[in-house]
Structure 1
Amino acid sequence: MAKLPNLQISGRMGNIIFYVRNGKQCMRAMPQKVKNPKSTKQSSRRSQFGATAKFASSLLSVLIHPYWNPIAKKEDRSGYNLFLTTNMPAFTAGLLQKEKLLLIPENELKQEQFIISQTDMGIQLTWSYTQNNKKADPNDELTLLIMSPNGALEIRQTQAKRSEQELMIEAPKEQEYFAFWERGTLWSETCWLPLQSDN
């Protein structure tokens, strides 16, 4: 049954679906029937989508609303949708491939290449600093995202500046680290830091 709220149609009429998005009337055809909805490929995609959606649901207020929504808005999309389509490749065969995970997309700042060293005092991060680049200011601050084994995420402001080119951190076992740069309302994409801890 179709509805006419404020002279706009939402609902299904035959094989056409009417809906309103951002105040605009839209319509689309019903998807064609899937010949084999239980094929190995279909099952794998559904599992991949489910794992990504479950992961994303815990990050709405922490990452998706503040960092993904502003980027997605430029494409007339939701941050949640953009996060899912970007990060589905990181969830394959029921396993999270951390090197493929993009927790925060780029917003005009450059990411740096990190060198990671184990020392007696902890983990030392060093990076290059590209001068005379509007995407890399000496006062950009390094922020860490720390992921616990259960998927909970902590954002830690380090106060380290891009120009300092090094940071010492304590790396508890079984936690994953991601790093990105911030400058006011600008930020770089995240970079996974494959830290090695002593057993």
Structure 2
Amino acid sequence: MAKLPNLQISGRMGNVIFYVRNGKQCMRAMPQQVKNPKSKKQSKRRSQFGETAKFASSLLKVLIHPYWNPIAKKENRSGYNLFLTTNMPAFAADVLQKEQLLLIPENGLKQEQFIISQTERGIQLTWHFSKATKKADAEDELTLLIISPNGTLEIRKTQAKRSKQELKIENPKGQEYFAFWERGPLWSASCWLPIQSDNKESFLGHVVEL
């Protein structure tokens, strides 16, 4: 039922809602109802959102607050919200699409293309460093994000620099590895390292080129 206090209308009339904000008359259309909120597509979308939100909640202090909030602030958003919208596609299938998972957003530094080789003791990463861009410096340090089979995440400072062009990872133990570069307040986007590959040598497929 609509009301008329001082000739200002508040309430619903048909599919239009009237309301007063800061003394001014406003109106908006009623939101459209979802025809079938229990459809297979809607259920899958809710499940996808739930899985992404659950994953993000476990990373608030270690990743989202320090790495996502500064980026999201430029867009007047929260780091948590930006992480969700960026990473929901990785949770679209029944199996997590690790190559689509972006744990760290780009903040001024260039990612590299890694060559992954298997050794007797584990994995060796190599890359080619060029001084052709300001987004890459010889002293940039490589940081690993390691997700264990039970879902816990470890941030490991490797002290490996771009100029070194190699890093050895011993005994991976079925863990998932992501890598990114850091230099003071700057960092590159992270990328997944498919170190479980059966090939003797493989190129990283998901690489951020800037």
In 2, distance between residues paired with 1:94 and 1:16?
44
Compared CA separation, residues 189 and 17, structure 1 to 2 (3 A): farther
Indicate the residue corresponding to 1:6 in structure 2. Answer: none
Moved more, 136-145 or 119-128: 119-128
In 2, distance between residues paired with 1:159 and 1:98?
25
In 2, distance between residues paired with 1:103 and 1:78?
15
Q: Which residue identity lines up with residue 152 of structure 1 in the other structure?
A: T
Indicate the residue corresponding to 1:70 in structure 2. Answer: 70
How many residues are paired up? 180
Contact between 1:171 and 1:195, CA under 8 Å: does it hold in 2? Answer: no
Q: What is the CA-CA distance between 1:40 and the residue it aligns to?
A: 1.3
Compared CA separation, residues 86 and 177, structure 1 to 2 (3 A): same
TM-score by length of 1: 0.83
In 1, distance between residues paired with 2:193 and 2:126?
11
Q: What is the CA-CA distance between 1:16 and the residue it aligns to?
A: 7.4
Q: What is the CA-CA distance between 1:30 and the residue it aligns to?
A: 5.6
Q: Which residue identity lines up with residue 176 of structure 1 in the other structure?
A: E
Secondary structure (helix, strand or coil) at the match of 1:112 reads coil
Compared CA separation, residues 135 and 17, structure 1 to 2 (3 A): farther
Q: Which residue identity lines up with residue 131 of structure 1 in the other structure?
A: K
Matches within 5 A, 1:91-106: 91-106=91-106
Higher gyration radius (CA): 2
Compared CA separation, residues 175 and 135, structure 1 to 2 (3 A): same
Compared CA separation, residues 37 and 135, structure 1 to 2 (3 A): same
Secondary structure (helix, strand or coil) at the match of 1:157 reads strand
Q: Which runs of 5+ in 2 are unaligned?
A: 1-9, 22-26, 199-210
Q: What is the CA-CA distance between 1:166 and the residue it aligns to?
A: 0.3
In 2, distance between residues paired with 1:13 and 1:155?
53
In 2, distance between residues paired with 1:79 and 1:18?
32
Compared CA separation, residues 109 and 36, structure 1 to 2 (3 A): same
Matches within 5 A, 1:18-167: 31-167=31-167
Q: What is the CA-CA distance between 1:121 and the residue it aligns to?
A: 2.9
CA RMSD for the aligned pairs?
2.4
Q: What is the CA-CA distance between 1:17 and the residue it aligns to?
A: 9.3
Compared CA separation, residues 48 and 119, structure 1 to 2 (3 A): same
Compared CA separation, residues 104 and 121, structure 1 to 2 (3 A): same
Secondary structure (helix, strand or coil) at the match of 1:96 reads coil
Contact between 2:141 and 2:183, CA under 8 Å: does it hold in 1? Answer: yes
Deviations 1:7-54 (A, max 9, x none): xxxxx97547999xxxxxxx9866321111011111111010000000
Compared CA separation, residues 44 and 143, structure 1 to 2 (3 A): same
Compared CA separation, residues 188 and 92, structure 1 to 2 (3 A): same
Contact between 2:122 and 2:172, CA under 8 Å: does it hold in 1? Answer: no
In 2, distance between residues paired with 1:139 and 1:127?
14
Q: Percent identity?
A: 78
Compared CA separation, residues 53 and 18, structure 1 to 2 (3 A): farther
Matches within 5 A, 1:6-21: 15=17
Runs (4+) off by over 4 Å: 12-19, 27-30
Contact between 1:116 and 1:126, CA under 8 Å: does it hold in 2? Answer: yes
Contact between 1:138 and 1:161, CA under 8 Å: does it hold in 2? Answer: yes
